[in-house]
């Protein structure tokens, strides 16, 4: 599943540089995650880095973008040019 950033985001800027897939960007009011680029850090780290650094715990799983670990790994492979 991709992750999403909720309205609880305080725009602290710590999540964006932690994303190895460059899936996080500044939205109109809060940061947003591009589900096409989010692999939950599969292929890079054992845990999503944005969740690890978020001071307000506002980055849950995005139920609208359900993906298996295998699908996340395939997305990672595609993003790095190995698929």
CA distances from 56 to 10, 12, 44, 62, 65 (A): 8, 10, 23, 17, 22
For residue 1, pLDDT over 90 is answered with no
Taking only the tens place, the pLDDT of each residue in 7-50 is 999 999 999 999 999 999 999 999 999 999 999 999 999 999 99
Per-domain boundaries in the chain: 16-79
3-state secondary structure of 62: coil
Q: Give me the pLDDT at residue 82, please.
A: 86
Arithmetic mean of pLDDT, 47-71 = 97
| pLDDT of 83 over the 70 cut | no
Q: Is the CATH code 3.40.50.1360 the one for domain 16-79?
A: no
Please classify residue 41 by burial: count the beta carbons closer than 10 Å to its beta carbon, then call 0-12 exposed, 13-18 middle and 19+ buried. Answer: buried
């Amino acid at each position: 599943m991709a992750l999403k950033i909720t309205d609880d985001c305080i725009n602290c800027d710590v999540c964006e540089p932690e994303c190895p897939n460059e899936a996080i960007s500044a939205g109109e009011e809060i940061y947003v995650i591009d589900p096409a680029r989010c692999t939950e850090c599969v292929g890079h780290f054992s845990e999503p880095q944005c969740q690890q650094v978020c001071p307000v715990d506002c980055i849950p799983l995005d139920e609208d973008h359900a993906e298996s670990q295998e699908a996340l790994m395939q997305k990672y492979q595609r993003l790095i040019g190995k698929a």
